[in-house]
Amino acid sequence: MIDPSLPVDEVARRLLGARLGSMVGGELTAVELTEIEAYGGEDDPASHAYRGRTPRNESMFGPAGTIYVYRSYGVHWCMNIVTGLPGRGEAVLLRGGRPVAGEAVMARRRRRATNLADGPGKLTQALGISAAHDGLRLGSTDLVSLDLPVRPVGTILATPRVGISQEVGRPWRFVLAG
DNA sequence: CTATGGATTCGCT
DNA sequence: GCGAATCCATAGA
């Protein structure tokens, strides 16, 4: 599913256009990923893994494909997928997607009809992702699915990551053009 | 633009 | 232990 030998930024690129689905409360929802950021391990000041292993980021140090969910700003859930070798603490943050299934369910969860998943907190809310999913592993659970794009996606833009003050020079935010 | 929200971590005592 | 600062955002005015 996630090749542990690939650099984290390469994984981020490849996951653009992938279909991320969830089965929560018996309801199926799915998005096509359009915005992803890469985060390194203990050598990346912007990464949660920078200060080493803690109770919160424990799942970041699991095998590639592990899901890492954390609370952002005390309000939102943010979902990451671990990459690289176990113990490295590398992961990609799923920052946005385009709904492709279960839009009505997403609209109900979001209490909105538009902008259903165009942000990290919106994406998890639309898919029903929460702390209950932290530590699960893609391929080992039916609750979350990830399917890589069957055909090449369009242009991929690389920009600095947002919301951080460190390592601004590292262009590790990837967005699908259009 | 501002209000909001709560867990986590760190620096002290 | 305890308090304070921090934090990869969103909605609504």
pLDDT at A74: 86
A88 touches strand C (CB under 7 A): no
0.85 cut: is pTM over it? yes
From first to last of the 178 residues of chain A, give the pLDDT tens digit. 899 999 999 999 999 999 999 999 999 999 999 999 999 998 888 899 998 999 899 999 999 999 999 999 889 999 999 999 999 999 999 999 999 999 999 999 999 999 999 999 999 999 999 999 999 999 999 999 999 998 888 999 998 887 655 555 788 999 998 7
pLDDT per position as a tens digit, A1-25: 899 999 999 999 999 999 999 999 9
Structure tokens at A156: 């991929």
Distance CA A132, CA A96 (A): 20
Q: Exposed, middle or buried by CB within 10 Å (0-12, 13-18, 19+), for A5?
A: exposed
Q: CA of A69 vs C1' of C9, distance in Å?
A: 15
Nearest nucleotide to A57 by CA–C1' distance? Answer: B8
Q: CA of A78 vs C1' of C5, distance in Å?
A: 21
Q: CA of A151 vs C1' of B8, distance in Å?
A: 41
